[in-house]
Structure 1
Amino acid sequence: MVDIEKIYKDSGALLEGHFLLSSGKHSPNYLQSAKVLEDPKRAEILAKELAKQIMDYGLKIDSVCSPAIGGLIAGYELARALGVRFIFTERKDGKMTLRRGFEVKKGEKILICEDIITTGGSAMEAAQEIEKRGGVVVGFAALANRGVCNRVGSHIKRKKECKLPEDKPFFALADFDFPIYEPDECPMCKEGSKPIKPGSRGN
């Protein structure tokens, strides 16, 4: 069994401070998956562990799709572990779009994969783009779950902020249930601290 929390800590990828998340919420903790995935062997190990969960569940998948840019390495390695093709969506003029000649067959079963899922907003944007083109989104996956959505095999209950559909499975290697605040309720802001925005949309 892979100890993903230890891997994040050993990689210097479990950060503490005052962070602005992609969802717009604030948190004293941040997971910098790029630091974990910079080691190809480590990325392969994590993807194989995630693939095992999915295969044990019995989910039929034709392809893996990730929203760029954060989910690209995790999604590619997961597709490789599952033996299926990999595609990705990316933002154009602020809208998640399938480009670069990628096509989706009608009825194609597609798993959406992120590095980390908090509310699942970006994953759902990718899912909507896939379904608009005739694909069928059969589930969601991530290396880490921020504790807002409930994943397969976890005791954590779904929170109202979760945007993933309740009728489709969500797979992740571990839950990181850190405090998350709305900006106007953030205790760190009230103390005069200003959040920084790491990750693919910051630094």
Structure 2
Amino acid sequence: MSGVSGNDVLGSGEVLDLLRRENALLEGHFLLSSGLHSDRYFQCALALCDPRSAGQLANALVARLAAEGLEYDLVVGPALGAVVWAQEVARAAGTKSFFTERKGEKGAGMALRRGFVIAPGTRCLVVEDVVTTGGSAKEVIDLLNEIGAKVVAVGSVVNRSGGNPFADLGLPLVALAEVTARTWAPSDPPEGFENSTPIKPGSRA
């Protein structure tokens, strides 16, 4: 592990201020990759593309993980959104980072490619930039469990799920910012959004 100190821990408000400065926190009507609609959208790639901001966020997460006594040998995140985030967290922690890729359509599961090999018993930290339903991270966790690796926690920049989607797996979620954002099914819009058309600013078509 690196020598990240408690002084590197950003408060939730400071994290959100950083995201706003990088135009990574949007407000309006958005279509999420989960299929749900929301009045807030986090495009963390706009913050992570600046190595200084990415490093600051990664140092803060590593410090929080250390404060909770969580130890890990490898950082793993799902492609494409968590590739840079996994690399920055690994850099701050002094470990390696791998990323997983989808076998096909969403729900088909994740795979390790590009020569990545994880030995059974390896302690893994799974990371995501934003946790909404936790679906992608759970697919990574399933893969790591199949391999025989030991997942110790999930780490994220933002948790907008309203809880811990990984509690049923016995895993802690360590997020730099806990955010309340309205989400709804397309067939059940809240007042003011009945005739609104969402935009999809994310990476998936």
TM-score in terms of structure 1 length: 0.88
Distance in 2, Cα, partners of 1:129 & 1:166: 14
Structure 2 segments unaligned to the other structure (5+ residues)? 1-8
1:187 is aligned, of 176, 186, 190, to: 190
1:1-203 alignment runs, 5 A limit: 1-2=9-10, 3-94=14-105, 95=108, 96-150=110-164, 162=165, 165=168, 167-187=170-190, 191-202=194-205
CA RMSD for the aligned pairs? 1.7
Count of aligned pairs = 191
Cα offset for 1:186? 1.5
Distance in 2, Cα, partners of 1:176 & 1:40: 24
Distance in 2, Cα, partners of 1:44 & 1:190: 37
AA of the residue aligned to 2:199: I
Q: Given that residues 166 and 172 in structure 2 are in contact (C-alpha distance below 8 angstroms), is that contact kept between their aligned partners in structure 1?
A: no
Distance in 1, Cα, partners of 2:125 & 2:117: 15
Q: Given that residues 119 and 163 in structure 1 are in contact (C-alpha distance below 8 angstroms), is that contact kept between their aligned partners in structure 2?
A: no
Q: Which string of whole-angstrom CA distances, capped at 9 and with x for unpartnered residues, describes residues 100-144 of structure 1?
A: 111110111111001111111100001111111121111100011
Q: Given that residues 124 and 164 in structure 1 are in contact (C-alpha distance below 8 angstroms), is that contact kept between their aligned partners in structure 2?
A: no
Structure 1 segments unaligned to the other structure (5+ residues)? 151-161
The secondary structure found in structure 2 opposite 1:27 is strand
Cα offset for 1:9? 1.0
Distance in 2, Cα, partners of 1:89 & 1:66: 6
Cα offset for 1:164? 5.1
Match of 1:155 in 2: none
Q: Which moved more, 1:14-23 or 1:47-56?
A: 14-23
TM-score in terms of structure 2 length: 0.87
* Structure 1 ranges of 4+ moved more than 3 A: 163-166
Cα offset for 1:97? 1.3
Cα offset for 1:58? 1.0
AA of the residue aligned to 1:106: P
Cα offset for 1:199? 1.6
Cα offset for 1:200? 2.2
